[in-house]
A and B are shown apart, each in its own frame.
Chain A
Amino acid sequence: GDSVTQMEGPVTLSEEAFLTINCTYTATGYPSLFWYVQYPGEGLQLLLKATKADDKGSNKGFEATYRKETTSFHLEKGSVQVSDSAVYFCALSDSWGKLQFGAGTQVVVTP
């Protein structure tokens, strides 16, 4: 079945550092790919998405490119802020709209 694997956390880094969170997937067909962010005690918010190969999703300085050849959707941000501290989830959607989530990666940004 479909699955998503993302790097384990926590990832701790200083403000203005470069952030990468690796995400790879296994799926039949051509899923849509998503990154969601969760702040403490809240629901998930969509951060960015890509619906086909080579699409680049971007939002709030975050970027991820849908790489079919490597089945990856790595999240990157060039200069993180303390406010970026959260848990980040990579996910894929099947043709029915069901989401398969990775385990989540906690990111801690220190001043």
Chain B
Amino acid sequence: DGGITQSPKYLFRKEGQNVTLSCEQNLNHDAMYWYRQDPGQGLRLIYYSQIVNDFQKGDIAEGYSVSREKKESFPLTVTSAQKNPTAFYLCASIDRGGSYEQFFGPGTRLTVL
């Protein structure tokens, strides 16, 4: 089955530590996205990548970094510079061949202790 996997599902981090969230897709999609969701709020775009070895900042990129070395993978690092990292993080990829439907992973809930 094709889809997007995110790991881990729950992640705990101490203040001052960097942490990397995994996102893998086997849908052969070129473009991938990272969103942040806070309770009772919509999704905000952190970073996106239209193609391998290229990525752009979204609306709330400060304190985050990404890489896109492979088409299938788009890991997100939450750095110690992110002041309020506790949130639900969602990865998505897009089918640009037709209607630009985004497919989402199951999410990672990050909690800073």
Tell me, rounded to whole Å, the shortest Cβ–Cβ distance linking B75 to chain A.
17
Looking across the interface, which residue of chain B has its beta carbon closest to that of A104? B42
Establish whether residues B41 and A32, one from each chain, have CB atoms under 8 Å apart when the complex forms.
no
Q: Within 8 Å of chain A (Cβ to Cβ): is B50? A: yes
Looking across the interface, which residue of chain A has its beta carbon closest to that of B107? A43
CA distance A41 to B100 in the complex (A): 25
For A, the interface residue count at a CB cutoff of 8 angstroms equals 21
Which chain B residues border A49 with CB–CB below 8 Å? 99, 101
Which chain B residues border A41 with CB–CB below 8 Å? 107, 109
CA distance A96 to B94 in the complex (A): 10
Tell me, rounded to whole Å, the shortest Cβ–Cβ distance linking A9 to chain B.
9
CA distance A64 to B50 in the complex (A): 29
Establish whether residues A97 and B107, one from each chain, have CB atoms under 8 Å apart when the complex forms.
no
Further 8 A-B residue pairs, CB within 8 A, beyond A51-B99, A97-B96: A32-B100, A42-B106, A45-B104, A89-B42, A93-B102, A97-B94, A97-B100, A104-B41
Give B contacts to A, CB under 8 Å. 6, 31, 33, 40-43, 45, 48, 50, 90, 92, 94, 96, 99-107, 109
